[in-house]
Structure 1
């Protein structure tokens, strides 16, 4: 019977769902793990691991043998499935103690875990496997709750743990995870029989039970007690983080400042590879960055290994006034350059001081976390998910510092210990096993008219090749449909959306602001939004003419102008691709407005290429023809007008267009998307001012 009332954690256990898993210990392990991972107050994304031990038939002997199922290397307990577990013979794992050569040879034990596998299709066992294996309990949770780590990272955390839990929670001093730590957990239990869990100094928490439910409730009760204790002590000794030093800007102004600054920061952080950004002005972040103690605590770095592996050892704190004018880009870049240079120098010194003869080469020395007092926190990483998760982890670190300072004094890991985790050969091996970046990884694209037709195909291709994209359209309903499709296909971190009419300068600026706030800037601008009007000269109106030129020519000009301003803030070059038409080169009937507007688009592209070359901004053109599939243009009078001009029926247009090409091919939106990728994928980085025809071969449209 549950007796604890939970205020600081979520009790999610469903008796009916658990009953359906009765007798399936592994199923209950998965269920428990997912519940624990659903509450970020219990553990951070990707952090912690859980296990269970049960009897299973040995496939070699047919006899029952004890097997341990434990979360394998990588993964996240919140989304854990059976294929994310490693299953090992318990007796074989424990027998490794007989050949263990000591802590200096710790890493060699990891590959020996594979000889203990019960299920040969298991996920690779993690470094934490022996921590579970040397404890006797049927169900074990190893988590990284902020409330527990705050105590574990406090200067006198061991004594606080003893006092708070009355000796029912053990303590093991900080040590890098591995075989020896597993032996220390066993020794702690031997010296303190009957304890309900063990606190790991600066690291996290081990709790357990004889059933999945007992372990779940035990974990919640321990974390609840830690969190309640912290809450009782906030502001008791002194104000949180020493009290407020500066006042945060109003929310709207914070977002304006973040939008203006993000591309500049991204330019500095993308020194070695394109980075994707994330911004948050979460209340917990503001409480920390606006406080008197920021200058003292930020340089100390984080304590829990999971935190600094994602955030680097320490953040960069900007010395900018919260409300100052950030519009002078060159002056801003000049002011920030010394701060980034100093950070890189400090990080390099940290590496050189702590490295071992066999340490991996130094990694990117730029910051991951950047704090702007009064405004918020930026994080930069290889992709949106990693940047977002880095922000979550630094908020975890802020929570830990807040709690530790409330009850004692926060202590971070010694620099050498931190380095030995960050540049651990096993961690390096994990990084080396990760898939190689895709061609557009780290790139940000804004494709106008990308809720359908050619624009949507281009956006989809870019996402498939690793980019993040701003999906936009002037039709809100169409945009909502595209949003649902992209979310299902690629996930929320791959894109954002904006309502965009390319004739509206305010909406153009807002769309680029969305790109800056969501991802940190933009690298690729594709002008694809368009419309077509086909009429004989005598039927063409001034309104038709103005609409064509406003959307096709002025729209391309305004979008390019706004995009180039962002590209220049970043200082890393970029791509502008204009989707024009074979009609820019070919004279056809009933096409005066559309054809001349397309010709203007083409020459504007050449003019932009000539002007933007010194900025390493490439401007290229893709000339499609007769792309009918999923095209909004063909829903209106354009198809009727072209059919009339050529003397064919509307339904005969696709075949008519194909037959007039040299290759006798129907052109699809995906063909245009492939052409855009050809320009941006890395093989044509020294090409600008080009026209790539994707029309099946129309001789009259040959450029030369």
Structure 2
């Protein structure tokens, strides 16, 4: 693969007319969002920006200088005004008198809350001193791939001078913190003509006394680095050339769909993980390259990268030129165990007396030659973002190894950041995971009332959900509505006919590639028909059996295959019907198919118990609102059977129930959630009637 390293140059998106009416703090937000909107400037959550602004002191009523700086854990591309910490500059200057030296620099973070302006609750980050002490009004810190490619080269100082001369300085590697803030202050003070500084193995600082000028300087320096890299690498081959070929796209996805549930099962014994798959050109060039074996073990350089991706990836033993996927799958257990042992050894070598306990030793990034990159994390967004960070790392390694020699951080330095007590404190502040966090659900009939309500219930509890439905238009509408409420990371959809064996298999392959596997199946696709037995055609009888019996069999069979491959248990929930237990007039085909469905669940509960696969049934009755099966002939037929009209049918069902209450899709969703959650961890083979009470449907 010939290198075109950084592509098009960054464009100036600053709008003078828009900025004219903004305050200095609003210009800071504007600048931040512009910079963070382009991943060539910085990755998600990476980098930070600041401005020193004159504000009215609420205590003295006088003007005072206040540092506005991105707060802890924010993202400059998406943050709002409340994402900034605000601190008195005079108090930050006073902190210098409290500093006892580099071995005590972490204690300085404890003083930052005492500098807070206007009782701002946003916590200040460890990078605050790096912005506070640069003697300029505006400061940007970003992690551009082009800059880090230079910063992560063995000869990064010489390259920085060659590209930028005296305009941009260079500082050797230093863990972010108070000491580095003093280093930056010293450099900027001693070099008043400099516009910024490259930090070895880390990133770029730029500064100015005007918001727009600072923004333009950041773009200019990144563009200059990109142009220089492109000039030095033009016509050269990336990563020493191709060693192994990339497989065709469909074959890549098929292999990923086989690998991901197995990997997920092996790394989810202590907690559920969600997967993400990426086969973009940069990834394929790296995983198939001659230098994969030497570069991947070096790990990433930028702290933001390896905090998301761990110190190094796991390279899966797969040869796309002679593919033997079964052998690769058979070798995964040992490969993952070896990685865990290696990570534990790394922890043992580097830990300090006060280091936090060993964290999850499993890899985050899995590189598969010819196929792409798989990432796993506790949630889908983190898995995706981790992959994005590793793509940044790939770009950095590509640039650095082409113009010189790439270097990762020394192992001890990497460990000291990964197990930094300040990072540990940040992790401890994370909210408690929701009940279904990390779990993946497939909901058939997902565009109907019960399916959509069930999907929403699961999403509220932190699950990832794939909706499957035969109705493409309804599926798109339901998908869009759920994405609008819960975000695109956690919702997927696939058009699927549950009676088509190939479509069912394809849907599960898509599920595996999109989320990594399966934990919960809600088999809910359905129809309803009503006719006296002598008017029930063979076609109508077969249609009920195909969808409500055979369809449930096909969807469950494929679910069992995935769940057994993962070997971490699972929950299968059939949405059946009161009619599977209690006969109903003029509905023999429907009632018989539903009875078969319930008995299939009993059989599967027996088969799955040994593998921790629970199978249970929720039996609704008369769920009219939002249900698509009540929008057609079924409504007319049932109204005719009971001698009422459409408007009176729901009231008739309500009055027929023992509790005199209407049953809603949300009620069925609550039953499905119960069986899916750990609340029902010891329940299998059960039937839960959600019918407002019907004595004929009592199970015992």
Q: Check conservation: 1:85, 1:122, Cα contact below 8 A.
A: no
What SS does the aligned partner of 2:438 have? coil
Indicate how the Cα distance of structure 1 residues 327 and 609 shifts in structure 2: closer, same or farther if over 3 A, else same: farther
Q: Which residue of 1 aligns with 2:204?
A: 205
Structure 1 partner of 2:604: 608
Q: 2:267 aligns with which of 246, 266, 269?
A: 269
Please say if residues 318 and 328 of structure 2, whose CA atoms lie closer than 8 Å, have aligned partners that are also in contact: no
Q: Retained in 2: the 8 A contact 1:245–1:290?
A: yes
Distance 2:77 2:369 in 1: 33
- Correspondent of 2:572 among 576, 583, 586: 576
Structure-1 residue corresponding to 2:58? 59
User: Do residues 589 (structure 1) and 590 (structure 2) align?
Assistant: no
C-alpha deviation, 1:323, in angstroms: 5.8
- Shift in Å, 1:435: 0.9
Does 1:428 find its partner at 2:402?
no
Q: Take 2:165 and 2:485, find their aligned partners in 1: how far apart are those partners?
A: 52
| Contact 2:245/2:321, CA 8 A, preserved across alignment | no
SS, match of residue 51 in structure 2: strand
- Aligned 8 A contact 1:132 1:140 in 2: yes
Structure 2 CA distance, aligned partners of 1:299 and 1:652? 70
CA distance in 2, matches of 1:686, 1:568: 19
Give the TM-score taking structure 1 as reference length.
0.97
Deviation at 1:503, TM superposition (A): 1.3
Whether the 8 Å contact between 2:88 and 2:117 is mirrored in structure 1 is yes
Contact 1:503 1:555 in 2 (8 A): yes
1:695 matches 2:691: yes
Q: 1:153 and 2:152 equivalent?
A: yes
**What SS does the corresponding residue of 2:140 show, helix, strand or coil?**
strand
Residues 1:30 and 2:29 aligned together = yes
Tell me how far apart the structure 1 counterparts of residues 138 and 183 of structure 2 sit (CA, whole Å). Answer: 19
- In the TM superposition, structure 1's runs of 4+ consecutive aligned residues that sit over 4 Å from their partners are 323-328
- CA distance in 1 between partners of 2:584 and 2:245 (Å): 64
Tell me if the contact between 1:196 and 1:207 (Cα under 8 Å) persists in the aligned partners: yes
1:302 paired residue among 293, 300, 304: 300
Q: How far is the alpha carbon of 1:19 from its aligned partner?
A: 2.2
Aligned CA-pair RMSD? 1.4
Asked if 1:176 corresponds to 2:175, the answer is: yes
**Cα drift, residue 327 of structure 1:** 6.5
Runs of 5+ consecutive residues of structure 1 not aligned to the other structure:
1-5
**Aligned residues of 2:58 and 2:118 also touching (Cα < 8 A):** no
Distance 1:299 1:312, change over 3 A: same
- Normalised by the length of structure 2, the TM-score is 0.97
Q: How does 1:431-470 map to 2 (within 5 A)?
A: 431-470=427-466
CA distance in structure 2 between the partners assigned to 1:266 and 1:20 by the alignment:
51
CA–CA separation in structure 1 for the residues paired with 2:8 and 2:438 = 40
Cα deviation for residue 87 of structure 1 reads: 0.9
Q: Aligned pair 1:414/2:410, yes or no?
A: yes
Q: 1:56 offset after TM fit, Å?
A: 1.0
Work out whether residues 301 and 412 of structure 1, in 8 Å CA contact, stay in contact via their aligned partners in 2: yes
Tell me the SS of whatever aligns to 2:175. coil
Say yes or no: does 1:79 pair with 2:78: yes
Does 2:482 match 1:483?
Answer: no
In 2, Cα distance between equivalents of 1:172 and 1:335? 44
Matched, 1:405 2:401: yes
Aligned to 1:3: none
Q: 1:672 aligns with which of 663, 668, 671?
A: 668
2:3 is matched with: none
* 3-state secondary structure, aligned to 1:148: helix
Secondary structure at the aligned position of 2:680 is classed as: coil
**C-alpha contact (below 8 Å) 2:147/2:203 kept by paired residues:** yes
Deviations 1:631-665 (A, max 9, x none): 01111121222222223332112222122222221
Note the C-alpha offset of 1:324. 5.6
Equivalence for 1:12: 13
Cα separation, 2, equivalents of 1:642 and 1:369:
55
Query: CA deviation digits over 1:449-473, x for unaligned, max 9?
Result: 1112101111111111111011121
Q: Greater CA deviation, 215-224 or 252-261?
A: 252-261
- Equivalent residue for 1:247, pick from 245, 248, 257: 245
* 2:634 matched residue in structure 1: 638
Question: CA deviation digits over 1:650-703, x for unaligned, max 9?
Answer: 211222212222222111101111111111110211211111111111111110
- SS of the aligned residue for 2:77 comes to helix
1:116 equivalent in structure 2: 115
1:550 aligns with 2:546: yes
Q: Is the 8 A contact 2:259 2:329 kept in 1?
A: no
Contact kept, 8 Å, 2:582 with 2:696, in 1: the verdict is yes
Conserved in 2, the CA contact under 8 Å of 1:580 and 1:601?
Answer: yes
Shift of 1:197: 0.2
Conservation of the 8 A alpha-carbon contact between 1:553 and 1:601: yes
Residue 284, structure 1, aligned to residue 271, structure 2: no
Contact 1:10 1:39 in 2 (8 A): no
Q: Please list, as runs of the form range in 1=range in 2, the aligned pairs for 1:359-398 lying within 5 A after superposition.
A: 359-398=355-394
Number of the residue aligned with 2:613? 617
Does the Cα contact within 8 Å between 2:171 and 2:198 map onto a contact in 1?
yes
CA shift digits 1:582-615 (9 cap, x unpaired): 1111112111111111100000111111112122
Further displaced range: 333-342 or 389-398? 333-342
1:207 and 1:219 in contact (8 A); partners too:
yes
1:356 matched to 2:352? The reply is: yes
Contact 1:244 1:291 in 2 (8 A): yes
Decide which moves more: 593-602 or 334-343.
Answer: 334-343
Kindly state the Cα deviation for residue 326 of structure 1 after the two structures are TM-superposed: 6.1
- 1: distance between equivalents of 2:440 and 2:428? 25
